[in-house]
A and B are shown apart, each in its own frame.
Chain A
Amino acid sequence: MFFERNLIPAAAALALAFGLTAPGARAQTEDYEALNAAIVESYVLPRYADFAQATKALDASLTQACADGRPTPAESAAAYHTAMDAWMAVQHLRFGPSELFLRAERIEFWPDKRGTVGRHLAQMTSEPKLEALEPQAFASGSVAVQGFPALERLLFDSEDADWATPFGCALTLAIGRNLNSIASDLLSDWRDGEDAYAGTVLGAAAGNDRYFDAKEAALDFAKSLRGALLLVGDYKLGRPLGDAPEAARTTRAESWRSARSLRNIKINLQAARALYEVGGESSLSSLARAHPQGAELDEVIRAALERLNAAAEAQPDSLVAALEVPEGWAQLDALRVETRRLLELLGGPFSEVLGLPMGFNSYDGD
């Protein structure tokens, strides 16, 4: 086993330390404003800039590889992986610009429980229409074929030779161009102009049409942290692992065709850790620590994030490869369990201490 049992104290044990209304130094408006500013400047903007840059390189690489009518993994795999790495670093930021125009789904339609990507790709290649690949038509067509999962099939699925046609190649190019276009829009919506979303977050203290106050903007970041771990624990590990080694289904994993399911998780966990710690004295970590009873909580969370990252780094990039080792399933399941425990801690005592109700009833409308 990777983890000793109960390294993370049960959320309840920590929760007992806090009263009905947590007394003492609750974070103030200025603290949330500083937190928001630090995260936007040092986390959100650089990451979206990387994503825009990586998809631009992907677009260029596919164009070059397609010059002979058939891009191969050898020619474009590196650019694909770099772009996926950049996506994994922002995948959990599911608010603001990423909510618009189905951007997140268009970048990566996953989990794809009904095999929609394959079905829509097959439809598209069986009745090739070049006009469907025009940028506007493509962006407003099937969400499932617009992003990484479709590109991954075209590049890496060796049993599927559809890409090795002029139309397959044109489709590959359309995906690359589309991904770059979405990524550029994400960056510019966050960064540029009077309506930049960065301004909406930084101006939240005065109240605006998106945020009630600075704390509510901070809540979006706290939810993103929780969202990253939820994706890793329940979707990226929980679904493929199942309840027992014999129930494992690797085709439920994300990016299994390009053998990078665990590489995705490594980057997600790095992103979660960075989000918790970015901003020095203005970080989520510091806000927790500033609470009279938050020091222990903060230590537990930081240690858990460190252990999760170390445990993930010790694994190969491929989930299939990881499961070929005798103890592989148990190790990944332990990673899943500890991720779950950290989630409970974030949704419970952490969110209670910070007054950021991301837990349960306030998470979304019911």
Chain B
Amino acid sequence: MTAIDRRAFLTASAASCAAWGLCLPRAVLAAESRCFVSACSDEDGNTLARVVTGDGRLLATLPLPERGHGAARRPGQREVVVFARRPGRFALAFDPLSAEPLRRFDAAAGRHFYGHGAFSPDGRWLFACENDYDNARGCIGVYDATVGYRREAELESHAIGPHEIVLLSDGRTLVVANGGIQTHPQAGRRKLNIDSMQPSLAYIDAASGALLHDHRLPAEMHQASIRHIAATANDVIGVAMQYEGPRNNLVPLVGFQHAEAEIVLPPSDAATLRSLQQYCGGAAMDASGQVLAASAPRGGNITFWSVARQCHLGSLALADGCGVAASGAPGGFLASSGYGRLVHHNALSGETTRLDDPAAAPVAWDNHLLALTL
């Protein structure tokens, strides 16, 4: 969209907003600027998705039927899909500038979403992590966005509990973090197989659903649930895990994986491990692919890791901080917390800026932030 088109659009949408008696957008995006989407919950317990600008100002708010989780941007379109938090069943496509809902679609019978999905580069196919709970089987629902998100196919995730999914730069290889934990909606969020869980990082051909290769941790680490992943432009995968084993057994929870190589868990000192409190909540790569952010909401820290050197760079204390997303600059991240904080931190310069929008009603930010450029 050219700048002129954009201006024309904004004028038109502002006019239609006014005509419908809605408020005008309080913040207006400059062309090509970055914004962020996150599910959240307001003080009355209403579940929402919010869009904020790079400097933290509220751009748009979308009510959600239930608590949301992750979101995916549809390439080539001004469109974002936000997913229900597991074991929820809704997904909602919306326009991030106006927060106008475009399409709601629900998980198929006998399936629920895990809360994450990824689009094909042409913006047509959406791959969503799903639970075939009666068969204790992980699967990837394939939706055609050009026909109202019709569910066209289902791929195996090749392990239990597919949670986060990314598409590699070839546009056809899916990488899926299979957390390994069996749940069933009738048992709420209860974990049913902690003793026998077998998480995996699966490389799957998006066209055929074939398992290309998968990666597991050594047997003594089978209770480290591979839950969140992020990829650099060169397809290095950053891994952030959650440990279900004995609480006094400190294990590394942040790792890297590339191509067909095994998962590498960089050794780190006990203090760093303790600061995670055995639980990572989210993963993101910075825009330059140099730094992995792994959030640890229980420990109240966002940790930063060098991709090249595969080591811990430093941490930012942020209580209940979970959402992380690249802010654009090398080393730069936006981070959000359940206490409503929004913070910009550059892991390379160490600079931290608080970004709360004092004019916006406070919310508890949900687990994940999505960065997108409009």
List A residues at the B interface (Cβ < 8 Å): 10-12, 15, 20-22, 207-212, 216, 340-341, 343-344, 347-348, 351-352, 355, 357, 359-362, 364-366
Contact = CB atoms under 8 A, between A and B. Distances in A.
A358 B51 CA distance: 25
Interface stretch (B129-137, B252-260, B317-325): B317-325
B247 A210 contact: yes
Contact of B338 (A12, A340, A362): A362
A212 B277 contact: yes
Interface residues of B, number: 46
Interface string B339-369: 1110100000000001000000110111100
A340 B44 CA distance: 7
A352 B320 CA distance: 8
Contacts of B225: 365
B300 interface: yes
B289 interface: no
A10 B365 CA distance: 17
Contact of B364 (A21, A210, A359): A359
Given A209-B248, A357-B320, A344 B278 contact: no
B248 A207 contact: yes
A344 B281 CA distance: 22
Contacts of B45: 340, 343-344
Given A355-B300, A357-B338, A359-B339, A15 B362 contact: yes
Nearest to B317: A21
A216 B277 contact: yes
A212 B323 CA distance: 23
Contacts of B85: 366
A366 B338 contact: no
B368 to A, nearest CB: 9
A305 to B, nearest CB: 19
B179 to A, nearest CB: 8
A208 B300 contact: no
Of A22, A208, A365, chain B has the most CB atoms within 10 Å of the CB of: A365
A347 B364 contact: yes
The B interface is mostly helix, strand or loop, or mixed, namely loop
A357 B298 contact: yes
A347 B41 CA distance: 12
B28 to A, nearest CB: 25
Given A15-B339, A211-B247, A340-B44, A360 B277 contact: no
Interface in B277-327: 277-279, 281, 297-298, 300, 317-323
Contacts of A207: 247-248
A15 B367 CA distance: 20
B200 interface: no
B21 to A, nearest CB: 23
A362 B181 contact: no
Of B249, B277, B318, B354, chain A has the most CB atoms within 10 Å of the CB of: B277
A366 B367 contact: yes
A211 B277 CA distance: 10
Contacts of A343: 45
Nearest to A365: B242
A210 B247 CA distance: 5
17 contacts: A11-B362, A12-B340, A15-B339, A20-B341, A216-B277, A348-B340, A352-B319, A355-B300, A357-B297, A357-B320, A360-B338, A361-B281, A361-B320, A361-B365, A362-B297, A362-B320, A366-B281
Contacts of B318: 20
B222 interface: no
Contacts of A12: 43, 340, 361-362
Nearest to B163: A366
A290 to B, nearest CB: 18
Nearest to B358: A16
Given A209-B246, A348-B339, A366 B115 contact: yes
B86 interface: yes
B340 A362 contact: no
Contact of B247 (A208, A360, A362, A366): A208
Nearest to A113: B186
List the 5 closest A-B pairs by CB distance, nearest first: A360-B338, A209-B246, A361-B322, A12-B362, A207-B248
A366 B86 contact: yes
B320 A360 contact: yes
Nearest to A364: B189
B43 A10 contact: yes
Contacts of A361: 281, 297, 320-323, 337-338, 365-367
Contacts of B323: 361
B158 interface: no
Given A210-B247, A347-B364, A357-B298, A352 B43 contact: no
A348 B248 contact: no
B89 interface: no
Nearest to A344: B43
B338 A359 contact: yes
B53 to A, nearest CB: 20
Contact of A20 (B189, B281, B298, B343): B343
Contacts of B338: 347, 357, 359-362
